[in-house]
Chains A and B, each alone.
Chain A
Amino acid sequence: MRVSSRRWLFLLLLFFLYCGALVWAQEHSSGEMAHEALKAAGAKGSSLAWWMWPLILFGFTFVIGIIAPLSGVGGGVLFVPLSTAFFPFSVDFIRGAGLIMALTSALSATPQFIRKGLANIRIMTPLVCVSMVTSILGGIVGLWITNAFPSGKYYITIALGLVLLIIFVVMLTSKRVEFPEVKEQDPLSRALALTGSWFEPTLGKVMEYKVTRLPIGLVCFAAVGFIAGMFGLGAGWANVPVLNLIMGAPIKVAVATSMTIIAINDAAAAWIYLAKGAVLPLIVVPSVLGITIGARIGAKLAVKAKPAFVKILVMGIMLLAAALNIVKGLKGLHII
Protein backbone atom coordinates (compact mmCIF):
# COMPACT_ATOMS: atom_id res chain seq x y z
CA MET A 1 0.00 0.00 0.00
CA ARG A 2 1.32 3.42 -0.91
CA VAL A 3 2.23 5.85 1.90
CA SER A 4 -0.39 8.41 0.82
CA SER A 5 -3.13 5.74 0.97
CA ARG A 6 -2.09 4.83 4.50
CA ARG A 7 -2.29 8.51 5.50
CA TRP A 8 -5.80 8.80 4.10
CA LEU A 9 -6.89 5.67 5.93
CA PHE A 10 -5.37 7.02 9.14
CA LEU A 11 -7.28 10.28 8.78
CA LEU A 12 -10.52 8.51 7.89
CA LEU A 13 -10.15 6.28 10.94
CA LEU A 14 -9.73 9.32 13.17
CA PHE A 15 -12.76 10.95 11.51
CA PHE A 16 -14.98 7.92 12.17
CA LEU A 17 -13.71 7.69 15.74
CA TYR A 18 -14.63 11.32 16.19
CA CYS A 19 -18.14 10.86 14.79
CA GLY A 20 -18.61 7.78 16.95
CA ALA A 21 -17.53 9.68 20.03
CA LEU A 22 -20.00 12.47 19.28
CA VAL A 23 -22.88 10.01 18.87
CA TRP A 24 -21.88 8.21 22.08
CA ALA A 25 -21.62 11.48 23.99
CA GLN A 26 -25.03 12.57 22.71
CA GLU A 27 -26.70 9.32 23.78
CA HIS A 28 -25.11 9.33 27.22
CA SER A 29 -25.54 12.99 28.08
CA SER A 30 -27.64 13.29 31.24
CA GLY A 31 -30.55 15.66 31.79
CA GLU A 32 -28.44 17.77 34.11
CA MET A 33 -25.70 18.05 31.50
CA ALA A 34 -28.17 19.09 28.83
CA HIS A 35 -29.65 21.64 31.21
CA GLU A 36 -26.25 23.14 32.00
CA ALA A 37 -25.30 23.18 28.34
CA LEU A 38 -28.53 24.90 27.43
CA LYS A 39 -27.92 27.39 30.21
CA ALA A 40 -24.45 28.09 28.83
CA ALA A 41 -25.72 28.30 25.28
CA GLY A 42 -28.64 30.44 26.42
CA ALA A 43 -26.20 32.99 27.76
CA LYS A 44 -25.00 33.44 24.19
CA GLY A 45 -28.51 33.49 22.76
CA SER A 46 -28.53 29.95 21.36
CA SER A 47 -30.44 26.76 22.19
CA LEU A 48 -27.98 24.37 20.55
CA ALA A 49 -27.13 21.18 22.41
CA TRP A 50 -23.56 21.12 23.73
CA TRP A 51 -22.43 18.32 21.41
CA MET A 52 -23.42 20.41 18.39
CA TRP A 53 -20.54 22.81 18.95
CA PRO A 54 -17.73 20.29 18.35
CA LEU A 55 -19.64 19.01 15.32
CA ILE A 56 -20.09 22.53 13.92
CA LEU A 57 -16.43 23.27 14.64
CA PHE A 58 -15.39 20.17 12.73
CA GLY A 59 -17.50 21.11 9.69
CA PHE A 60 -16.37 24.72 9.86
CA THR A 61 -12.65 23.89 10.05
CA PHE A 62 -13.05 21.19 7.40
CA VAL A 63 -14.19 23.89 4.94
CA ILE A 64 -11.37 26.21 6.05
CA GLY A 65 -8.97 23.30 5.58
CA ILE A 66 -10.08 22.97 1.94
CA ILE A 67 -9.73 26.71 1.29
CA ALA A 68 -6.38 27.24 3.11
CA PRO A 69 -4.00 25.34 0.79
CA LEU A 70 -5.67 26.93 -2.22
CA SER A 71 -4.54 30.35 -1.01
CA GLY A 72 -1.29 29.67 0.88
CA VAL A 73 -2.58 30.64 4.32
CA GLY A 74 -2.36 28.45 7.42
CA GLY A 75 -6.08 28.64 8.17
CA GLY A 76 -5.90 30.66 11.38
CA VAL A 77 -6.48 33.89 9.46
CA LEU A 78 -9.92 32.59 8.47
CA PHE A 79 -10.69 30.66 11.66
CA VAL A 80 -9.95 33.35 14.28
CA PRO A 81 -12.07 36.23 12.94
CA LEU A 82 -14.97 34.05 11.80
CA SER A 83 -15.04 32.12 15.09
CA THR A 84 -14.89 35.35 17.06
CA ALA A 85 -17.96 36.50 15.15
CA PHE A 86 -20.01 33.28 15.19
CA PHE A 87 -18.99 31.06 18.14
CA PRO A 88 -19.68 31.52 21.87
CA PHE A 89 -16.06 30.90 22.97
CA SER A 90 -13.81 33.53 24.57
CA VAL A 91 -11.43 35.19 22.11
CA ASP A 92 -8.54 33.73 24.18
CA PHE A 93 -9.60 30.15 23.42
CA ILE A 94 -10.30 31.02 19.78
CA ARG A 95 -6.80 32.46 19.38
CA GLY A 96 -5.31 29.38 21.05
CA ALA A 97 -7.26 27.03 18.77
CA GLY A 98 -6.42 29.16 15.71
CA LEU A 99 -2.74 28.92 16.50
CA ILE A 100 -2.78 25.13 16.99
CA MET A 101 -4.82 24.74 13.77
CA ALA A 102 -2.38 26.82 11.74
CA LEU A 103 0.52 24.92 13.32
CA THR A 104 -0.97 21.54 12.40
CA SER A 105 -1.76 22.45 8.80
CA ALA A 106 1.73 23.92 8.33
CA LEU A 107 3.41 20.88 9.90
CA SER A 108 1.41 18.58 7.61
CA ALA A 109 2.30 20.48 4.42
CA THR A 110 5.96 21.39 5.05
CA PRO A 111 7.63 17.95 4.58
CA GLN A 112 6.05 17.54 1.13
CA PHE A 113 7.07 21.04 0.07
CA ILE A 114 10.67 20.43 1.16
CA ARG A 115 10.94 17.11 -0.70
CA LYS A 116 9.69 18.81 -3.89
CA GLY A 117 12.30 21.56 -3.55
CA LEU A 118 9.68 24.25 -3.07
CA ALA A 119 10.65 24.99 0.53
CA ASN A 120 14.24 25.31 1.68
CA ILE A 121 15.53 25.60 5.25
CA ARG A 122 18.33 27.91 4.05
CA ILE A 123 15.75 30.56 3.12
CA MET A 124 13.53 29.87 6.12
CA THR A 125 16.22 30.00 8.84
CA PRO A 126 17.28 33.70 8.85
CA LEU A 127 13.67 34.86 8.52
CA VAL A 128 12.49 32.65 11.38
CA CYS A 129 15.38 33.77 13.64
CA VAL A 130 13.79 37.24 13.59
CA SER A 131 10.08 36.45 13.43
CA MET A 132 10.15 33.84 16.21
CA VAL A 133 11.16 36.48 18.75
CA THR A 134 8.48 38.91 17.63
CA SER A 135 5.76 36.21 17.50
CA ILE A 136 6.50 35.28 21.14
CA LEU A 137 6.24 38.96 22.10
CA GLY A 138 2.99 39.21 20.15
CA GLY A 139 1.54 36.21 22.01
CA ILE A 140 2.42 37.76 25.37
CA VAL A 141 0.94 41.15 24.46
CA GLY A 142 -2.25 39.56 23.06
CA LEU A 143 -3.06 37.66 26.26
CA TRP A 144 -1.96 40.53 28.49
CA ILE A 145 -4.35 42.95 26.81
CA THR A 146 -7.43 40.77 27.35
CA ASN A 147 -6.62 40.13 31.02
CA ALA A 148 -5.27 43.52 32.07
CA PHE A 149 -8.10 45.57 30.60
CA PRO A 150 -11.75 44.60 31.23
CA SER A 151 -12.83 45.81 27.79
CA GLY A 152 -9.56 44.75 26.13
CA LYS A 153 -11.18 41.94 24.16
CA TYR A 154 -13.38 44.42 22.30
CA TYR A 155 -10.36 46.51 21.28
CA ILE A 156 -8.60 43.32 20.10
CA THR A 157 -11.69 42.36 18.11
CA ILE A 158 -11.75 45.79 16.43
CA ALA A 159 -7.98 45.66 15.81
CA LEU A 160 -8.36 42.23 14.24
CA GLY A 161 -11.06 43.60 11.93
CA LEU A 162 -8.78 46.47 10.92
CA VAL A 163 -5.85 44.08 10.29
CA LEU A 164 -8.11 42.05 8.02
CA LEU A 165 -9.13 45.17 6.13
CA ILE A 166 -5.45 45.97 5.58
CA ILE A 167 -4.84 42.41 4.34
CA PHE A 168 -7.81 42.77 2.02
CA VAL A 169 -6.34 45.95 0.51
CA VAL A 170 -2.89 44.30 0.19
CA MET A 171 -4.40 41.32 -1.61
CA LEU A 172 -6.50 43.60 -3.81
CA THR A 173 -3.50 45.66 -4.92
CA SER A 174 -0.79 42.99 -5.03
CA LYS A 175 0.20 41.45 -8.33
CA ARG A 176 1.50 37.99 -7.61
CA VAL A 177 4.31 37.18 -9.94
CA GLU A 178 4.62 33.50 -10.79
CA PHE A 179 8.27 33.62 -11.74
CA PRO A 180 9.87 36.93 -10.68
CA GLU A 181 13.12 37.87 -12.33
CA VAL A 182 15.96 38.39 -9.83
CA LYS A 183 18.91 39.83 -11.75
CA GLU A 184 21.26 40.19 -8.81
CA GLN A 185 21.19 39.04 -5.20
CA ASP A 186 22.07 41.29 -2.28
CA PRO A 187 25.37 40.35 -0.53
CA LEU A 188 23.64 38.71 2.44
CA SER A 189 21.40 36.51 0.28
CA ARG A 190 24.41 35.59 -1.85
CA ALA A 191 26.48 34.69 1.21
CA LEU A 192 23.73 32.38 2.47
CA ALA A 193 23.24 30.92 -1.03
CA LEU A 194 19.50 31.54 -1.01
CA THR A 195 18.82 29.63 -4.20
CA GLY A 196 17.02 26.45 -5.17
CA SER A 197 15.08 24.54 -7.82
CA TRP A 198 11.87 22.58 -8.26
CA PHE A 199 10.12 20.65 -11.00
CA GLU A 200 7.21 22.68 -12.41
CA PRO A 201 4.64 20.25 -13.88
CA THR A 202 2.72 22.96 -15.79
CA LEU A 203 5.91 23.82 -17.71
CA GLY A 204 7.35 20.31 -17.69
CA LYS A 205 10.80 21.44 -16.57
CA VAL A 206 13.00 22.17 -13.58
CA MET A 207 12.86 25.82 -12.52
CA GLU A 208 15.81 27.55 -10.86
CA TYR A 209 15.25 30.48 -8.51
CA LYS A 210 17.14 32.86 -6.24
CA VAL A 211 15.87 35.36 -3.66
CA THR A 212 17.15 38.83 -2.79
CA ARG A 213 16.58 41.87 -0.50
CA LEU A 214 17.03 39.75 2.63
CA PRO A 215 17.59 42.76 5.01
CA ILE A 216 14.23 44.31 4.01
CA GLY A 217 12.61 40.90 4.27
CA LEU A 218 13.92 40.51 7.83
CA VAL A 219 12.31 43.80 8.93
CA CYS A 220 9.00 42.82 7.33
CA PHE A 221 9.04 39.39 8.96
CA ALA A 222 9.65 40.95 12.37
CA ALA A 223 6.42 42.95 12.03
CA VAL A 224 4.48 40.01 10.61
CA GLY A 225 5.62 37.71 13.45
CA PHE A 226 4.37 40.15 16.09
CA ILE A 227 0.90 40.49 14.55
CA ALA A 228 0.64 36.74 13.98
CA GLY A 229 1.55 35.90 17.59
CA MET A 230 -0.80 38.55 18.96
CA PHE A 231 -3.88 37.39 17.06
CA GLY A 232 -3.09 33.66 16.84
CA LEU A 233 -2.87 33.82 13.05
CA GLY A 234 -0.71 31.66 10.81
CA ALA A 235 0.63 34.75 9.01
CA GLY A 236 0.64 33.17 5.55
CA TRP A 237 -1.39 36.18 4.39
CA ALA A 238 1.68 38.39 4.93
CA ASN A 239 4.56 35.94 4.46
CA VAL A 240 3.62 35.21 0.86
CA PRO A 241 3.52 38.86 -0.36
CA VAL A 242 6.85 39.64 1.40
CA LEU A 243 8.60 36.58 -0.06
CA ASN A 244 7.06 37.04 -3.50
CA LEU A 245 6.83 40.80 -4.02
CA ILE A 246 9.83 41.98 -1.97
CA MET A 247 12.29 39.07 -1.95
CA GLY A 248 11.54 37.83 -5.47
CA ALA A 249 10.65 34.21 -4.65
CA PRO A 250 8.40 32.49 -7.23
CA ILE A 251 4.81 32.26 -6.00
CA LYS A 252 4.96 28.51 -5.36
CA VAL A 253 8.22 28.85 -3.45
CA ALA A 254 6.76 31.77 -1.47
CA VAL A 255 3.69 29.73 -0.47
CA ALA A 256 5.78 26.69 0.50
CA THR A 257 8.37 28.72 2.43
CA SER A 258 5.55 30.57 4.17
CA MET A 259 4.13 27.27 5.42
CA THR A 260 7.55 26.28 6.80
CA ILE A 261 7.90 29.61 8.59
CA ILE A 262 4.36 29.28 10.00
CA ALA A 263 5.22 25.83 11.38
CA ILE A 264 8.22 27.11 13.33
CA ASN A 265 6.80 30.45 14.49
CA ASP A 266 3.51 28.96 15.64
CA ALA A 267 5.26 26.12 17.44
CA ALA A 268 7.17 28.71 19.48
CA ALA A 269 4.09 30.86 20.14
CA ALA A 270 2.02 27.81 21.16
CA TRP A 271 3.91 27.46 24.47
CA ILE A 272 2.56 30.81 25.65
CA TYR A 273 -1.01 29.65 25.06
CA LEU A 274 -0.36 26.26 26.66
CA ALA A 275 1.17 27.87 29.74
CA LYS A 276 -1.75 30.27 30.14
CA GLY A 277 -4.38 27.53 29.75
CA ALA A 278 -5.74 29.09 26.54
CA VAL A 279 -5.85 25.74 24.71
CA LEU A 280 -8.99 23.69 25.42
CA PRO A 281 -9.08 20.15 23.91
CA LEU A 282 -12.88 20.50 23.65
CA ILE A 283 -12.35 23.27 21.06
CA VAL A 284 -8.95 22.32 19.61
CA VAL A 285 -9.47 18.59 18.87
CA PRO A 286 -12.46 18.95 16.48
CA SER A 287 -10.82 21.99 14.89
CA VAL A 288 -7.52 20.22 14.20
CA LEU A 289 -9.27 17.10 12.94
CA GLY A 290 -11.39 19.21 10.56
CA ILE A 291 -8.51 21.23 9.15
CA THR A 292 -6.22 18.21 8.81
CA ILE A 293 -8.72 16.27 6.68
CA GLY A 294 -9.90 19.38 4.80
CA ALA A 295 -6.32 20.45 3.99
CA ARG A 296 -5.63 17.09 2.32
CA ILE A 297 -8.61 17.63 0.01
CA GLY A 298 -7.71 21.29 -0.51
CA ALA A 299 -4.18 20.38 -1.53
CA LYS A 300 -5.57 18.09 -4.25
CA LEU A 301 -8.05 20.75 -5.45
CA ALA A 302 -5.33 23.41 -5.52
CA VAL A 303 -3.83 21.75 -8.58
CA LYS A 304 -7.03 22.25 -10.61
CA ALA A 305 -8.52 25.48 -9.18
CA LYS A 306 -8.18 28.79 -10.98
CA PRO A 307 -6.05 31.13 -8.81
CA ALA A 308 -8.25 34.13 -9.66
CA PHE A 309 -11.34 32.36 -8.28
CA VAL A 310 -9.52 31.38 -5.10
CA LYS A 311 -8.24 34.89 -4.55
CA ILE A 312 -11.74 36.36 -4.88
CA LEU A 313 -13.12 33.69 -2.54
CA VAL A 314 -10.59 34.37 0.21
CA MET A 315 -10.87 38.14 -0.15
CA GLY A 316 -14.66 37.94 0.15
CA ILE A 317 -14.39 35.93 3.37
CA MET A 318 -11.80 38.33 4.78
CA LEU A 319 -13.93 41.37 4.03
CA LEU A 320 -16.95 39.76 5.67
CA ALA A 321 -14.94 38.72 8.74
CA ALA A 322 -13.41 42.21 9.02
CA ALA A 323 -16.82 43.88 8.97
CA LEU A 324 -18.30 41.44 11.50
CA ASN A 325 -15.42 41.85 13.93
CA ILE A 326 -15.43 45.63 13.79
CA VAL A 327 -19.19 45.74 14.37
CA LYS A 328 -18.93 43.22 17.23
CA GLY A 329 -16.14 45.21 18.91
CA LEU A 330 -17.96 48.52 18.54
CA LYS A 331 -21.13 46.99 19.98
CA GLY A 332 -19.16 45.62 22.94
CA LEU A 333 -17.85 49.10 23.67
CA HIS A 334 -21.40 50.48 23.28
CA ILE A 335 -20.27 52.80 20.49
CA ILE A 336 -22.99 51.55 18.16
Chain B
Amino acid sequence: MAEKNQIHVDPANLIFAKVMEIVTYIGIAVMIIFGLLYLVGISSFVDIKAAIAHWHLPVVQFWQEVVGIHISGYDWFLKNLTAMDCLSMLGICILALAPFAAIIAAWPKVGATHKVLVLLFFILVVEYLFAILKPIILPGVGGH
Protein backbone atom coordinates (compact mmCIF):
# COMPACT_ATOMS: atom_id res chain seq x y z
CA MET B 1 0.00 0.00 0.00
CA ALA B 2 2.82 2.34 0.96
CA GLU B 3 4.54 1.68 -2.37
CA LYS B 4 1.27 2.24 -4.20
CA ASN B 5 0.98 5.69 -2.62
CA GLN B 6 4.53 6.72 -3.52
CA ILE B 7 4.89 9.48 -6.05
CA HIS B 8 7.80 10.11 -8.37
CA VAL B 9 9.52 13.49 -8.14
CA ASP B 10 12.24 13.94 -10.75
CA PRO B 11 15.84 14.72 -9.68
CA ALA B 12 15.74 18.28 -11.03
CA ASN B 13 12.83 19.14 -8.73
CA LEU B 14 14.52 17.51 -5.73
CA ILE B 15 17.80 19.35 -6.24
CA PHE B 16 15.91 22.61 -6.74
CA ALA B 17 14.10 22.08 -3.42
CA LYS B 18 17.19 21.07 -1.47
CA VAL B 19 19.35 24.01 -2.58
CA MET B 20 16.52 26.49 -2.05
CA GLU B 21 15.98 25.19 1.49
CA ILE B 22 19.66 25.36 2.49
CA VAL B 23 20.25 28.87 1.11
CA THR B 24 17.00 30.11 2.68
CA TYR B 25 18.03 28.93 6.14
CA ILE B 26 21.44 30.56 5.79
CA GLY B 27 19.82 33.83 4.65
CA ILE B 28 17.27 33.91 7.49
CA ALA B 29 19.95 33.16 10.10
CA VAL B 30 22.32 35.88 8.83
CA MET B 31 19.53 38.44 8.51
CA ILE B 32 18.02 37.84 11.97
CA ILE B 33 21.21 37.36 13.99
CA PHE B 34 22.85 40.54 12.71
CA GLY B 35 19.50 42.35 12.78
CA LEU B 36 19.21 41.59 16.51
CA LEU B 37 22.77 42.76 17.12
CA TYR B 38 21.84 45.99 15.32
CA LEU B 39 18.78 46.35 17.53
CA VAL B 40 20.85 46.11 20.72
CA GLY B 41 23.05 48.92 19.43
CA ILE B 42 26.22 47.21 18.23
CA SER B 43 27.93 49.10 15.37
CA SER B 44 25.27 50.51 13.06
CA PHE B 45 25.32 52.30 9.71
CA VAL B 46 21.86 53.82 10.23
CA ASP B 47 21.35 55.22 13.70
CA ILE B 48 18.21 53.70 15.25
CA LYS B 49 17.06 57.01 16.75
CA ALA B 50 17.43 58.79 13.44
CA ALA B 51 15.71 55.96 11.57
CA ILE B 52 12.69 56.07 13.89
CA ALA B 53 12.51 59.86 13.66
CA HIS B 54 12.43 59.74 9.84
CA TRP B 55 10.87 56.41 8.82
CA HIS B 56 7.68 58.18 7.77
CA LEU B 57 9.56 59.96 4.94
CA PRO B 58 9.77 58.68 1.33
CA VAL B 59 12.87 56.57 0.77
CA VAL B 60 15.02 59.21 -1.02
CA GLN B 61 14.27 61.87 1.58
CA PHE B 62 14.86 59.38 4.41
CA TRP B 63 18.42 58.63 3.31
CA GLN B 64 19.23 62.28 2.71
CA GLU B 65 18.00 63.26 6.17
CA VAL B 66 19.40 60.30 8.11
CA VAL B 67 22.77 59.58 6.47
CA GLY B 68 23.10 62.45 3.99
CA ILE B 69 23.54 60.21 0.96
CA HIS B 70 21.68 59.33 -2.23
CA ILE B 71 21.16 55.57 -2.40
CA SER B 72 21.74 53.85 -5.73
CA GLY B 73 23.07 50.31 -6.12
CA TYR B 74 24.46 48.01 -3.46
CA ASP B 75 27.70 49.67 -2.44
CA TRP B 76 26.05 51.58 0.43
CA PHE B 77 25.77 48.38 2.46
CA LEU B 78 28.51 46.29 0.81
CA LYS B 79 31.11 48.94 1.73
CA ASN B 80 29.92 49.02 5.35
CA LEU B 81 29.91 45.37 6.31
CA THR B 82 31.34 46.13 9.75
CA ALA B 83 27.92 47.59 10.61
CA MET B 84 25.35 45.09 11.91
CA ASP B 85 22.44 46.51 9.87
CA CYS B 86 24.50 46.17 6.69
CA LEU B 87 25.36 42.57 7.57
CA SER B 88 21.63 41.99 8.12
CA MET B 89 21.08 43.35 4.61
CA LEU B 90 23.58 40.76 3.39
CA GLY B 91 21.24 38.10 4.82
CA ILE B 92 18.39 39.56 2.75
CA CYS B 93 20.66 39.37 -0.32
CA ILE B 94 21.31 35.69 0.43
CA LEU B 95 17.52 35.13 0.65
CA ALA B 96 17.04 36.90 -2.68
CA LEU B 97 19.73 34.65 -4.19
CA ALA B 98 18.09 31.40 -2.99
CA PRO B 99 15.91 30.82 -6.11
CA PHE B 100 18.84 31.72 -8.37
CA ALA B 101 21.06 29.17 -6.61
CA ALA B 102 18.28 26.57 -6.90
CA ILE B 103 17.85 27.25 -10.64
CA ILE B 104 21.61 26.95 -11.27
CA ALA B 105 21.78 23.70 -9.26
CA ALA B 106 18.81 22.11 -11.07
CA TRP B 107 19.82 23.33 -14.55
CA PRO B 108 22.06 20.36 -15.48
CA LYS B 109 19.27 17.93 -14.59
CA VAL B 110 16.29 19.48 -16.43
CA GLY B 111 17.58 18.59 -19.90
CA ALA B 112 17.38 14.89 -19.11
CA THR B 113 13.58 14.92 -19.42
CA HIS B 114 12.66 17.93 -21.55
CA LYS B 115 15.26 19.76 -23.66
CA VAL B 116 13.13 22.90 -24.02
CA LEU B 117 13.38 23.46 -20.27
CA VAL B 118 17.12 24.03 -20.67
CA LEU B 119 16.32 27.03 -22.85
CA LEU B 120 13.66 28.31 -20.43
CA PHE B 121 16.13 27.95 -17.54
CA PHE B 122 18.66 29.94 -19.56
CA ILE B 123 16.08 32.71 -20.02
CA LEU B 124 15.36 32.65 -16.29
CA VAL B 125 19.05 32.94 -15.44
CA VAL B 126 19.50 35.89 -17.83
CA GLU B 127 16.42 37.63 -16.41
CA TYR B 128 17.62 37.05 -12.88
CA LEU B 129 21.10 38.38 -13.58
CA PHE B 130 19.53 41.44 -15.19
CA ALA B 131 17.39 41.97 -12.09
CA ILE B 132 20.54 41.93 -9.92
CA LEU B 133 22.70 44.05 -12.20
CA LYS B 134 20.10 46.58 -13.37
CA PRO B 135 20.62 49.00 -10.47
CA ILE B 136 24.35 49.06 -11.34
CA ILE B 137 24.28 49.18 -15.15
CA LEU B 138 21.10 51.28 -15.46
CA PRO B 139 21.04 53.38 -12.30
CA GLY B 140 18.91 56.10 -13.90
CA VAL B 141 15.98 53.82 -14.74
CA GLY B 142 13.06 54.29 -12.41
CA GLY B 143 13.05 58.07 -12.18
CA HIS B 144 16.38 58.47 -10.36
Contacts and interface: CB of A to CB of B under 8 A. Distances in A.
A28 B4 CA distance: 61
B89 A121 contact: no
Contact of B71 (A132, A204, A276): A276
Contacts of B130: 136
Interface stretch (A71-79, A263-271, A297-305): A263-271
B5 A206 contact: yes
Contacts of A53: 52
Contact of B132 (A21, A89, A93, A271): A271
Given A108-B24, A128-B124, A274 B93 contact: yes
Given A40-B52, A206-B5, A267 B124 contact: no
Contact of B99 (A21, A192, A263): A263
Q: Label chain A's interface by main secondary structure.
A: helix
Interface string A95-122: 0000010011001101110111100111
20 contacts: A28-B41, A33-B49, A50-B48, A89-B56, A100-B95, A125-B117, A129-B124, A136-B127, A140-B143, A143-B142, A147-B59, A199-B5, A270-B95, A274-B93, A276-B72, A280-B51, A284-B88, A285-B31, A285-B38, A288-B28
Interface of A: 10, 14, 17-18, 21-22, 24-25, 28, 32-33, 36-37, 39-41, 43-44, 50, 53-54, 88-90, 92-93, 100, 103-104, 107-108, 110-112, 114-117, 120-122, 125-126, 128-129, 132-133, 136, 140-141, 143-144, 146-148, 153, 191-193, 197-199, 204-206, 263-264, 267-272, 274-285, 288-289, 292
The 5 closest A-B pairs by CB, nearest first: A275-B135, A285-B35, A277-B71, A144-B143, A111-B17
